[in-house]
Amino acid sequence: MVSTTEPSGESGQRLVAVTGASGHLGANLVRALLADGRRVRALVHMTSKGIEGLPVEVVRADVLDAGSLTGAFAKVDTVFHLAAKISAGWEPAAAINEVNVEGTRNAVQACLAARVRRLVHFSSIQAFAPAPGASAVDETCPLARPGEGNHGAYDLAKAEAERVVLAAVAYGLEAVILNPTAVIGPYDLLPSALGEVLLALARGRLPVLIAGAIQDFVDARDVVTAALAAERRGRPGERYLLSGTRLSLVELARHWAKVTGRPAPRLAAPMWLAGLAAPFAPAWARLRGRRPSFTSESLRVLRASCPVSRRKAEGDLGYHPRPIDETLRDTWAWMKAEGRL
């Protein structure tokens, strides 16, 4: 245990645990739980930066150490499992699989051993394998499988982790899965890959965008609101897709420019040209000690992007994402308050 601060809320309230509590979604979720008067046990691995100073019980744990999780989940009613290794081609496949699959397996086993009632598992839209030419992705789409289609290591790992979670439902674990799209918003302290893009745009250090690159962007706080609803009334064994606003990267940069006052880049490289440069991007980024701005894998994800249906989450969870401009304004205000610029 790193440190312990007296949790907020009444002593009789049920305790919740959050893995990956210091990440982007974790930092937002912990704050939302505290605002709801909950008692929170925050599990961290490398750093607790995202939750420093908050009235939570902070526990050092590793999802690759099943024993550390069983102890951390003791007397816990609900586990929110966010710990993951997110990558679009800049991490070795073995490391992605180890954390996302084996780490999830350990979390599930620890939930069962500690008699945790409910697990809210954070997956990704990339776990799905929609048919070529599909008009939209929804919960009925099949999960990605090795050897079927063109999937990256992250896609396959998140899909397999979902299978692990769903298998535990038969053993009495009330597991619910959330599949957000590309997450942006405040409290992106590390920052995430998208957070780095927004910072680079705000600093005028991203002179060229990629034309034709389209993605769905969702506010971290809306994902968190859905997670709290999933804890209360999500159906065990079900998954919920959480989408936001679908924009091209050029459109996102223009929206961001209106908020920051920094002109958006005038140049947009065609996808084919970015594809020629992509194989060399990781090596160039390593020389500078940075994460690559794009990779062959990230371009594949952008090419394959299609609309995402949130109808099920709207009906079951009351999910309604906020406008993208509100997200960008709040993110900009948070960046300035944190001195990120």
d(CA 137, CA 305): 9
Q: Quote the pLDDT of residue 261.
A: 95
Domain ranges of the chain: 3-190+217-244+306-323
Judge: domain 3-190+217-244+306-323, CATH 3.90.480.20: no
Q: Quote the pLDDT of residue 286.
A: 60
d(CA 30, CA 49): 13
Inter-CA distances, 270 with 89, 137, 247, 282, 337, Å: 20, 25, 16, 19, 36
Its pTM stands at 0.91
Cis peptide before 191 (omega within 30 of 0): yes
Inter-CA distances, 30 with 91, 93, 150, 226, 300, Å: 27, 29, 36, 14, 33
Inter-CA distances, 261 with 197, 205, 247, 253, 327, Å: 16, 14, 20, 11, 16
| pLDDT tens track, the chain, 341 positions | 433 444 433 334 689 999 999 999 999 999 999 999 999 999 998 778 889 999 999 999 999 999 899 999 999 999 999 999 876 555 677 888 899 999 999 999 999 999 999 999 999 999 998 877 778 899 999 999 987 767 888 999 999 999 999 999 999 999 999 999 999 999 999 888 889 889 989 999 888 888 777 889 999 999 999 999 999 999 999 999 999 999 998 999 999 999 999 999 888 877 645 555 555 555 555 666 666 565 655 555 555 678 999 999 999 999 999 999 999 999 999 999 998 87
Q: Quote the pLDDT of residue 211.
A: 78
Q: Quote the pLDDT of residue 48.
A: 83
Q: Quote the pLDDT of residue 214.
A: 84
Q: Quote the pLDDT of residue 296.
A: 52
d(CA 177, CA 238): 6
